């Protein structure tokens, strides 16, 4: 096992004395509010950022991170296979964040491995582990299937992989979401290309495709028997991530929709006793985009409350937004704009705890990429803290999609960097503390955790 090296840190500074608060959010009709700290609110406790050594090897990428019910953590990632191809591995950490030795889930030479369409790991209610990856179905570039596996012994052994999509077409299937379903089952949602007619093209109109990508979902029980296999939406964005969270009312699934006029806004659908609800927009951004932006939404839930974060460039301006639902995703309030401007890249992640909502996103400018984290009141009424979490090595797509998870009083983040052309994973953990002495400066070289905190929007 080779852990990530440690780096110099700066403590974070909450929005207390010494930080001038930004203007309060606007509620004017037609004007998206900017989330910020309230001038009259009591100072929130400070949170400290610490480096989190990870168990992955230097060439690891495509991470997935989840919090376990016992207060621990599960991390999966891709790395080069011992005999070529790729290997999907995972490791478990305890409450203290210390990792067990990595274990192998699967390996293969016929996988589809991509910076944006990445594997996931999940836990069902019976404690079983589930994982998925993408397996090529034909020589065409974007001809691949979703395969699923289950482990009942903590990851020591895994079941024979099962194809999630059973249509048999040599087309694209991916951008998967997993969630616990029932006593020992798992819910799976994915983008399905069975109507597109071929896997050669990818991008604007999926060159050579005759139809649109669709959104499907199914349930698999502990014996990997399939049920409730349904098409939810017959026309979706081609290659934006889906995401799902469990509310008190059942699963809430979000994705980037698409209509014949090429409007690609975020939609939500809920599952209950009557099946999947008709998809509804989280907010009518009305972003007209002739090609897929490869920038899906993120959802988090706690009881009846849910938040959705997403990227949009409606009106020609890049923005990261977050909206709240108080009824399990049946409806959403007006979004708050967390960041805007050309440097905003999106690639968002959201988490929701009892005391705060969290949103993570990327920016890129002439100085490089930076990873930003906003801590908000759970009802999104004010921003408690903004942290420049890290200055990344690498640019563009190579840094992939960062991961965010919240556990028992700890927030954990994992992301990808590129050093000398090789990918590696980095991690950080945030915990509250009574007092922090740092002034929050961020004059630190690329590739280091900064922990810089600000009371205003990102520069």
Lowest mean pLDDT among 26-35, 250-259, 373-382: 26-35
Say if residue 2's pLDDT is above 70.
no
* Euclidean distance between CA atoms 329 and 304, whole angstroms: 8
Confidence band (pLDDT; 50, 70, 90) for 29? very low
- What is the mean pLDDT of the segment spanning 222-235? 97
Helix-strand-coil split of the chain, %, nearest 5: 0, 45, 50
3-state secondary structure of 183: coil
Q: Where are the alpha helices (DSSP H) in 158-218?
A: none
Helices (H) and strands (E) in the chain — how many of each? 0, 31
Q: Which residues contact 114 (CB under 8 A, 6 or more apart)?
A: 134, 174
pLDDT in tens, 108-123: 999 999 999 999 999 9
pLDDT at 448: 64
pLDDT in tens, 170-200: 999 999 999 999 999 999 999 999 999 866 6
Say if residue 28's pLDDT is above 50.
no
* Euclidean distance between CA atoms 124 and 127, whole angstroms: 6
Residue with tokens 């960062």, as numbered in its chain:
402
pLDDT at 197: 85
- What is the mean pLDDT of the segment spanning 85-104? 97
Proportion of the chain above pLDDT 90, given as a percent:
78
pLDDT in tens, 363-389: 999 999 999 999 999 999 999 999 999
Confidence band (pLDDT; 50, 70, 90) for 33? very low
Is 359 within 8 Å of 346 (Cβ atoms)? no
Confidence band (pLDDT; 50, 70, 90) for 167? very high
Alpha-carbon dihedral of residues 44, 364, 407, 39, nearest 10 degrees? Answer: 10
383's enclosing H/E stretch is strand 383-392
3-state secondary structure of 399: helix
- What is the mean pLDDT of the segment spanning 74-83? 94
- Give the pTM: 0.87
Proportion of the chain above pLDDT 70, given as a percent:
82
- What is the mean pLDDT of the segment spanning 9-16? 32
pLDDT at 433: 75
pLDDT at 438: 40
Confidence band (pLDDT; 50, 70, 90) for 447? low
375's enclosing H/E stretch is strand 368-376
pLDDT in tens, 407-417: 989 999 999 99
Q: Which comes out higher in pLDDT, residue 16 or 290?
A: 290
Q: Which residues contact 42 (CB under 8 A, 6 or more apart)?
A: none
pLDDT at 449: 65
* Euclidean distance between CA atoms 363 and 65, whole angstroms: 21
What are the distances in angstroms from CA 458 to CA 305, 359, 366, 454? Answer: 27, 13, 15, 8
In degrees, to the nearest 5, what angle opens at C-alpha 150 toward C-alphas 149 and 156?
A: 110
pLDDT at 270: 98
pLDDT in tens, 297-324: 999 999 999 999 999 999 999 999 999 9
- What is the mean pLDDT of the segment spanning 452-458? 43
* Euclidean distance between CA atoms 189 and 245, whole angstroms: 12
What are the distances in angstroms from CA 96 to CA 27, 52, 81, 109? Answer: 41, 11, 30, 36
* Euclidean distance between CA atoms 297 and 231, whole angstroms: 20
- What is the mean pLDDT of the segment spanning 13-24? 31
- For 391, the token pair is 């200055």
Rounded mean pLDDT of the chain?
86
pLDDT in tens, 394-446: 999 999 999 999 998 999 999 999 988 899 999 999 999 743 334 333 323 34
What are the distances in angstroms from CA 377 to CA 214, 346, 362? Answer: 35, 21, 21
User: Domains in the chain and their CATH numbers?
Assistant: 1-58+300-459 (no CATH), 117-293 (2.120.10.10)
* Euclidean distance between CA atoms 270 and 329, whole angstroms: 7
Q: Which comes out higher in pLDDT, residue 36 or 275?
A: 275
* Euclidean distance between CA atoms 179 and 356, whole angstroms: 22
- For 374, the token pair is 């906003």
């Amino acid at each position: 096992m080779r852990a990530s090296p440690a780096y110099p840190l700066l403590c974070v500074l909450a929005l207390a004395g010494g930080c001038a608060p930004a203007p309060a959010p606007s509620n004017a009709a037609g004007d998206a509010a900017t989330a910020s700290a309230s001038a009259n609110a009591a100072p929130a406790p400070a949170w400290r950022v610490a480096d989190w050594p990870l168990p992955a090897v230097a060439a690891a990428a495509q991470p997935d991170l989840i919090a376990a019910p016992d207060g621990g953590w599960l991390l999966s990632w891709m790395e080069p296979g011992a005999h070529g191809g790729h290997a999907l591995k995972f490791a478990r950490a305890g409450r203290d964040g210390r990792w067990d030795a990595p274990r192998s889930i699967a390996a293969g030479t016929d996988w589809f491995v991509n910076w944006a369409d990445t594997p996931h790991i999940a836990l069902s209610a019976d404690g079983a582990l589930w994982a998925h990856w993408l397996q090529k179905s034909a020589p065409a570039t974007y001809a691949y299937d979703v395969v699923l596996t289950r482990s009942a012994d903590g990851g020591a052994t895994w079941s024979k992989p099962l194809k999630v999509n059973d249509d048999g077409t040599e087309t694209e299937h991916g951008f998967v979401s997993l969630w616990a379903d029932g006593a020992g089952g798992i819910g799976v949602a994915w983008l399905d290309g069975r109507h597109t007619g071929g896997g050669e093209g990818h991008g604007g109109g999926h060159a050579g495709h005759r139809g649109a990508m669709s959104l499907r979902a199914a349930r698999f029980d502990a014996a990997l028997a399939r049920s409730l296999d349904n098409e939810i939406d017959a026309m979706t964005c081609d290659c934006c991530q889906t995401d799902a969270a469990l509310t008190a009312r059942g699963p809430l699934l979000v994705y980037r929709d698409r209509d014949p006029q090429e409007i690609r806004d975020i939609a939500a659908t809920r599952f209950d006793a009557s099946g999947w609800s008709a998809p509804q927009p989280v907010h009518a951004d009305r972003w007209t985009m002739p090609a897929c932006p490869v920038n899906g939404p993120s959802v988090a839930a706690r009881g009846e409350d849910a938040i959705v974060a997403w990227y949009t460039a409606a009106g020609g301006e890049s923005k990261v937004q977050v909206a709240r639902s108080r009824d399990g995703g049946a409806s959403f309030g007006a979004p708050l704009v967390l960041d805007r401007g050309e440097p905003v890249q999106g690639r968002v992640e959201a988490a929701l705890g009892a005391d705060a909502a969290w949103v993570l996103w990327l920016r890129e400018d002439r100085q490089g990429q930076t990873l930003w984290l906003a801590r908000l009141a759970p009802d999104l009424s004010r921003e408690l803290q903004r942290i420049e979490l890290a200055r990344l090595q690498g640019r563009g797509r190579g840094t992939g999609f960062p991961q965010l998870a919240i556990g028992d009083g700890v927030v954990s983040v994992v992301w990808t960097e590129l050093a000398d052309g090789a990918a590696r994973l980095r991690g950080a953990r945030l915990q509250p503390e009574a007092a922090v002495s740092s002034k929050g400066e961020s004059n630190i070289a690329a590739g280091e955790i900064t922990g810089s905190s600000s009371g205003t929007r990102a520069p």
